[in-house]
Amino acid sequence: MTDKSNIAAGHIELKSVSKSYGEGDNYKEVIKDCSLEITPGVLSVMIGPSGCGKSTLIRLIAGFEKPNSGSITIDGRPVEGPGKDRLVIFQESALFPWMTTEDNILYGPRAVGEDNSKNRDLANFLIDKVGLNQFKKKFPNQLSGGMQRRCELARALINQPEVMVLDEPFRGLDEMTKELMWEYYANLYEENKATNFFVTTDIDEAIFLADRLIIMTNIPTRVAAVIDVDIPRPRRLSNIFELDQANTIKMKALKILHEEAMKSFRSGSKAAADFIDAYSKRVAS
């Protein structure tokens, strides 16, 4: 599906990146001296306390904003703005309501004048891969939330970006649909093997998907730890959390997140208080 020459591409590196907003009493430092790598052909998943600055990092990597200091490069080239080498899937649906599933998926190639038989064949291939064959002529308001997310994945993949950046794309879905989406997405990744950077606040989602887990600190954010998730693929939800290896990684990650949430809790964060309560119940069980 993807040109294999692209698989080695997509190496993103952040060096000592800082980002702040406002001045005086309104000054807020969101990211401070943050360094990390998003490795080619690896599914890197970032997780951190709520409100720690994950979405700001995404905007910097996408080129929508610039850091106050530090550098961001992709394959050695400075990130100076948005580029077709990076594609972001946000939390909110961005499907065009007046377009069918098929037309939404073909939007990217059509926008750059590449509406040809090769891309139409690729669109049909992707529609089949995400299980939307019977819905290719339907409009977004005729699709369930999970179907809309699958359509957006196909619309991203048809552009064959060097890096796909996903900002909590399954947030807001019910639990059953969300878990189904994990498996759809994992299957697509396992076949494609392009560089993926996935952001989440769900520890189970992070461990099920990740090759590499990047845990962020409380705001101002930087990298607290990087954990290799060397659980063999393909992975299945039916048995992954029966593995001692998965649960060891999970408890290690939760411990770090708890420590960071405690820092946020002391500053009065309700999200941190909710996390600490959930963590305590999880450990008690």
pLDDT in tens, 126-156: 999 888 999 999 999 999 998 999 999 899 8
Q: Provide the whole-model pTM.
A: 0.85
Residues 6+ apart with CB under 8 A from 278: none
Report yes or no: 170 and 150 within 8 Å, Cβ to Cβ.
no
Confidence check: pLDDT of 275 > 60: no
Name the residue range of residue 208's domain. Answer: 4-85+197-284
Neighbours of 112 (CB within 10 A): 9
Q: What is the CATH number of the domain that holds 75?
A: 3.40.50.300
Taken in order 211, 217, 223, 226, the sign of the CA dihedral is: negative
Residue 221 DSSP one-character state: B
Among 5-9, 108-112, 184-188, the minimum mean pLDDT is found in: 5-9
Does residue 161 fall inside a structural domain? no
Higher-confidence position of 8 and 31: 31
For position 250, what pLDDT does the model report? 92
Does residue 220 fall inside a structural domain? yes
Report yes or no: 32 and 199 within 8 Å, Cβ to Cβ.
no
Does residue 243 fall inside a structural domain? yes
Q: From CA 44, how far away is CA 54, in angstroms rounded?
A: 13
Give percent above pLDDT 90 in the chain. 49
Does residue 226 fall inside a structural domain? yes
Cα 200 to Cα 69, 73, 122, 171, 268: the distances in Å are: 25, 23, 29, 8, 22
Cβ burial of 30 (10 Å; 0-12, 13-18, 19+) is buried
Does residue 11 fall inside a structural domain? yes
Mean pLDDT across 35-39: 93
Does residue 156 fall inside a structural domain? no
Total domain count, the chain? 1
For position 6, what pLDDT does the model report? 41
Give the helix ranges, DSSP H, for the chain.
Answer: 54-62, 101-105, 107-111, 117-129, 145-157, 175-192, 203-209, 244-266, 270-284
